[in-house]
Amino acid sequence: MRTPAGHADAGQDRDAGPEAPPVPVVQVVPLVTTRALARPLDYLAPAGIAADEVVGAVVTAPLGPRTVTGVVVAAGPGSGGPPAEDLRVVVDTGVRIPPDLVELALRVAERYGSTPARTLALVLPPKGTARPTVWVERRAVDEPARLGTRQRAALAALAAGPREASELRTSTGVSTGTLRTLEAAGLIRLAERAPEAVRAPRRGPPLTAAQSTAVTRLRAVVDEALAGGTPPPLLLHGVTGSGKTEVFLRGVEHALAAGRSAIVLVPEIALAPQTAARIAERFGARVAVLHSGLSDGQRALAYARVRRGEADVVVGPRSALFAPVARLGLVVVDEEHESAYKQGEDPRYDARAVAVLRARAHGAAVLCASATPRPESWHALERLHLPDRIGGRLPPIDVVDLRRDGGYPVSRPLHDGLAEVARDGGRAILLLNRRGEAAALQCRTCGRGFRCDRCDVALTLHRHPSALVCHHCGLRRAVPRRCPTCGAVDLSRLGAGTERLEAQVAADFPALTVLRLDADVTARVGALDETLGRFAATERAVLVGTQLVAKGHHFDGVRLAAAVDADLGLAQPDFRAEERTFSLLVQLAGRAGREGVGGRVIVQSWEPDARVIRLAARHAVPEFLDGELQRREALEYPPFRRLVRVVVTAPDPDVPVAILDRVAARAGEELPDDVLLGPVPLFRVRGRARAHLLLKTRRPGRAGAVLGRLAADESRALRSADAAIVVDVDPQSL
């Protein structure tokens, strides 16, 4: 028997003493991206590793001529591997992944057609050194007149309560030196110990009758899960401002009282600090925030606090679902309708579904909350209803027919509403889901447009800086003074974007502070929180932006909310287009009239009689969802069938359809009960032609596995054509 290097010599005198126990065999997933290594490999574990520490150990392992990092996923030899005497030894790095997260990662890989290496990367501990936490607490209420923009943003962010200095720096862009300056001025206090305002949990407000009913049911479901049952997730549906957050906070409180932990998911990083601040008011320093926008040190500190049990309430977007919490009792998926819960790259997991997987593995409950739930959730889940807004009623919605008004992008009713805000005070939010100055530039004389050289789309005109920009590949072109084809100088700007709207409102209403929030603005670190902080702190302010402004932000004094072009999303070739438009309009309407302040909502539309516009104008969420389910059942779309999408990209425009034709032919033989749509060519992006194939199925696990195998069988054709193939289970965008 050959002995692996590093262990006792095979020629050693066996009579000298008892033979050493055999070194255990472990299965290791090398953390490499190639699909050729989509299964674990057998190795010998390092001597001295404890049996209960094997699974989840991060090791270095020899792989051919190189050494790679890997994760131990099981103890014992795999099937068909080499004999133990031929195995090589791994080296323990001392890093550990909780075994339950290893199991979760493997299930995610199987469910979404990914590789174990890619899903295990989701649960790796963050890199970086966990430095001591420094807390910032606001002291003085009155601000000096001479303060910089970021100083004011930092103080505005602290109005809701103390925050960690590192998180405050990230969200507002304020430097450590600036914080020291504010401390020297007596405006804030810096301390390594959490302020009492953070450490001491607070009592919640009295519950309404509807909230009390919902809390009672939620607590019963948590108790059922903790007792070993497997209750399905609950859907908390309530109009905006009805107190959904308070209901799930009572659920978290109940789980903590039972000695369990909780995870609260939000769809966007932008919402994590706001939600965390509100949760910290209730549960003090037991709250940790985890998301990719933090520095390595910040993430390492939060991860360490959770791992040690110092923080047992985790708040964050998708990635927070993989926090190393012990004894999980409740997972809350807030704003569950948001498509951001679906990962856009491999592994393409849906955090809403993975939340259920993790909760069931721990004996925990799941609560989904939204004012505009997905049809899938409305159909499948038990509903808890909060029908009324606390402290007031939902604001009326006025629909403006842009075909008759002629004042685009600012109609006469919208102009009058902004004039009232300028005169009487308050705030306004204007939604226009298109950034830039104009959607396109076109010659009035010869009709020439300006398109991207690499994508089949028009270039968008931007004002600051002046350029024609492709929003798909980032290509930038100088704005021409005259038409390159006919020489005419009459170049027409088609449509309007957030830059044009911002400029027009600022010019028409100089008394208003106009702020813009879109992807161009938020590209700068700290700009998002800085803009939102200025909006919240300014008496007469207008926030102009894309769909970011309609997310779950809570601002006092919003007297006017308007959708400048409500039809933009309806033109998309996606069966979810109406659902997304309806949700966006209702969510936007919910920003106005909170805290008992009178509010007004204006929806500008070129199709005011469209079903989605009419129902949104009446806040008719149940009616819309019931009708949407009837339509989807007739068309066999989710939730009545599940979708699996296969996308191929290549430089040659003929390759994607050719490859998908072969995949479709074989899929039709192996999945005869499923419905195949396509392949269909898509518009070119970044110089690559695209096409997709859509499968409607009642068995997404089997369908995904079959399509994944068929995709792998095309590897030679893919390599020769410089093509790529993606299998996406439960796609959220078509």
- Which of 144-153, 172-181, 346-355 shows the highest mean pLDDT? 346-355
**155 and 304 co-located in one domain:** no
Domain range enclosing 156: 135-197
Mean pLDDT of 625-632: 97
For residue 431, what are the CA distances in angstroms to 200, 455, 547? 39, 27, 7
Whether residue 310 lies inside any domain: the answer is yes
Question: Is it the case that residue 548 has pLDDT exceeding 90?
Answer: no
**82 and 152 co-located in one domain:** no
**How do 328-334 and 365-370 pair as beta strands?**
parallel
Tokens of 635: 């068309």
CA–CA separation, 381 vs 235, rounded Å?
6
**345 and 413 co-located in one domain:** no
Hey, what long-range contacts does 16-22 have (CB within 8 A, 24 or more apart)? 22/84
Mean pLDDT of 286-312: 87
**525 and 594 co-located in one domain:** yes
125-150: b (≥16 Cβ within 10 Å) or e: bbeeebeebbbbbbeeeeeeeebeeb
Q: Which helix H or strand E contains 273, and what residues bound it? A: helix 272-283
**Which of 627, 642, 671, 657 lies closest to 732 in space, CA to CA?**
642
CA–CA separation, 691 vs 680, rounded Å?
5
Q: Which helix H or strand E contains 482, and what residues bound it? A: none
**97 and 143 co-located in one domain:** no
Q: For residue 144, what pLDDT is reported? A: 73
Asked which of 609, 633, 657 is the last residue of a domain, the reply is 633
Tokens of 564: 């400048």
Whether residue 419 lies inside any domain: the answer is yes
> Where would I find the H helices in 66-195?
99-111, 116-120, 149-157, 165-172, 176-184
Whether residue 171 lies inside any domain: the answer is yes
Q: For residue 610, what pLDDT is reported? A: 95
CA–CA separation, 665 vs 311, rounded Å?
52
Q: Which helix H or strand E contains 669, and what residues bound it? A: helix 655-670
Q: For residue 198, what pLDDT is reported? A: 57
More confident residue, 470 or 528: 470
Q: For residue 22, what pLDDT is reported? A: 53
Question: Is it the case that residue 536 has pLDDT exceeding 90?
Answer: no
**373 and 303 co-located in one domain:** yes
Question: Is it the case that residue 172 has pLDDT exceeding 70?
Answer: yes
CA–CA separation, 279 vs 261, rounded Å?
13
Q: For residue 17, what pLDDT is reported? A: 47
Query: 64-86, pLDDT tens digit by residue?
Result: 888 999 999 998 777 566 666 66
**48 and 151 co-located in one domain:** no
Query: 7-59, pLDDT tens digit by residue?
Result: 333 333 434 445 544 558 889 999 987 665 678 889 988 877 776 678 999 99
Mean pLDDT of 289-312: 87
For residue 120, what are the CA distances in angstroms to 110, 209, 354? 12, 44, 14
**179 and 109 co-located in one domain:** no
Expressed in angstroms, the distance from the first to the final Cα of the chain is 58
Q: For residue 14, what pLDDT is reported? A: 39
**Which of 640, 641, 647, 694 lies closest to 667 in space, CA to CA?**
694
Tokens 């790679």 label which residue? 68
Contact 362, 229 (CB under 8 A): no
Question: Is it the case that residue 114 has pLDDT exceeding 80?
Answer: yes
**Residue 61's domain is classified under what CATH number?**
3.40.1440
Is the preceding peptide bond at 18 cis, omega within 30 degrees of 0?
Answer: no
Amino acid making up residue 257: A
Q: For residue 3, what pLDDT is reported? A: 32
The structure's pTM equals 0.86
Lowest mean pLDDT among 147-161, 576-590, 594-608, 671-685: 147-161
**In which order are the strands placed within the sheet that holds 365-370?**
287-289, 313-316, 261-265, 328-334, 365-370, 234-238, 382-386
Question: Is it the case that residue 217 has pLDDT exceeding 60?
Answer: yes
For residue 363, what are the CA distances in angstroms to 219, 220, 221, 223, 226? 14, 14, 11, 10, 6
Positive or negative: CA dihedral 347, 349, 351, 356: negative
Question: Is it the case that residue 157 has pLDDT exceeding 50?
Answer: yes
Amino acid making up residue 278: R
> Where would I find the H helices in 127-267?
149-157, 165-172, 176-184, 196-199, 209-226, 244-257
Q: How confident is the model at residue 173 (pLDDT cuts 50, 70, 90)?
A: confident
Q: For residue 36, what pLDDT is reported? A: 59
Q: For residue 2, what pLDDT is reported? A: 31
Question: Is it the case that residue 441 has pLDDT exceeding 60?
Answer: yes
Query: 375-427, pLDDT tens digit by residue?
Result: 999 999 999 999 998 877 888 899 999 999 878 999 999 999 999 999 999 99
Contact 87, 2 (CB under 8 A): no
C-beta atoms surrounding 513 within 10 Å: 17
Amino acid making up residue 499: E
**Residue 418's domain is classified under what CATH number?**
3.40.50.300
**676 and 566 co-located in one domain:** no
Question: Is it the case that residue 274 has pLDDT exceeding 90?
Answer: no
For residue 632, what are the CA distances in angstroms to 86, 569, 609, 627? 56, 19, 21, 9
Asked which of 72, 90, 123 is the last residue of a domain, the reply is 123
Whether residue 7 lies inside any domain: the answer is no
**542 and 624 co-located in one domain:** yes
Return mean pLDDT, the chain: 88
Q: For residue 200, what pLDDT is reported? A: 53
Amino acid making up residue 21: P
More confident residue, 16 or 273: 273
**Which of 548, 611, 602 lies closest to 577 in space, CA to CA?**
611
**Which of 348, 320, 346 lies closest to 334 in space, CA to CA?**
320
Question: Is it the case that residue 192 has pLDDT exceeding 60?
Answer: yes
Mean pLDDT of 118-128: 91
Q: Which helix H or strand E contains 200, and what residues bound it? A: none
CA–CA separation, 264 vs 282, rounded Å?
14
Contact 215, 247 (CB under 8 A): yes
Q: How many residues does the chain have?
A: 734
Q: How confident is the model at residue 141 (pLDDT cuts 50, 70, 90)?
A: low
**Which of 289, 251, 66, 63 lies closest to 163 in space, CA to CA?**
289
Question: Is it the case that residue 692 has pLDDT exceeding 70?
Answer: yes
Q: For residue 5, what pLDDT is reported? A: 35
Whether residue 322 lies inside any domain: the answer is yes
**Which of 395, 397, 478, 485 lies closest to 445 in space, CA to CA?**
485
Whether residue 531 lies inside any domain: the answer is yes
**432 and 569 co-located in one domain:** yes
Q: For residue 35, what pLDDT is reported? A: 64
For residue 692, what are the CA distances in angstroms to 524, 682, 705? 34, 7, 17
127 backbone dihedrals φ, ψ, rounded to 5°: -80, 165
257 backbone dihedrals φ, ψ, rounded to 5°: -65, -25
Mean pLDDT of 435-443: 93
Tokens of 35: 């699909």
CA–CA separation, 176 vs 186, rounded Å?
15
Q: For residue 595, what pLDDT is reported? A: 65
Tokens 């037991």 label which residue? 286
More confident residue, 158 or 55: 55
- Percent of the chain at pLDDT above 90? 61
More confident residue, 526 or 359: 359
Hey, what long-range contacts does 299-308 have (CB within 8 A, 24 or more apart)? 299/126, 299/128, 300/125, 300/126, 300/127, 300/128, 300/129, 300/130, 301/130, 301/131, 301/133, 301/166, 303/125, 303/126, 303/130, 304/130, 307/125
Could you give the number of structural domains in the chain?
Answer: 5
Q: For residue 45, what pLDDT is reported? A: 86
C-beta atoms surrounding 269 within 10 Å: 20
Amino acid making up residue 323: A
Whether residue 111 lies inside any domain: the answer is yes
Tokens of 215: 């809390």
Q: How confident is the model at residue 162 (pLDDT cuts 50, 70, 90)?
A: confident
Q: For residue 331, what pLDDT is reported? A: 98
**373 and 521 co-located in one domain:** no
Question: Is it the case that residue 129 has pLDDT exceeding 90?
Answer: no
Q: Which helix H or strand E contains 41, and what residues bound it? A: strand 41-44
Q: How confident is the model at residue 186 (pLDDT cuts 50, 70, 90)?
A: confident
Asked which of 633, 656, 680 is the last residue of a domain, the reply is 633
Q: Which helix H or strand E contains 584, and what residues bound it? A: helix 577-589
Residues 6+ apart with CB under 8 A from 374: 336, 337, 579
Tokens 């300014």 label which residue? 538
For residue 533, what are the CA distances in angstroms to 46, 169, 266, 306? 53, 14, 19, 29
Axis crossing angle, helix 165-172 with helix 527-537, rounded to the nearest 10? 90
- Percent of the chain at pLDDT above 70? 92
Q: How confident is the model at residue 132 (pLDDT cuts 50, 70, 90)?
A: low
Q: How confident is the model at residue 195 (pLDDT cuts 50, 70, 90)?
A: low
Whether residue 344 lies inside any domain: the answer is yes
555: Cα within 13 Å, side-chain hemisphere: 32
Tokens 């699909």 label which residue? 35
Tokens of 645: 């999408």
Tokens of 654: 């003929």
Q: For residue 183, what pLDDT is reported? A: 87
CA–CA separation, 700 vs 706, rounded Å?
10
Positive or negative: CA dihedral 309, 310, 315, 318: negative
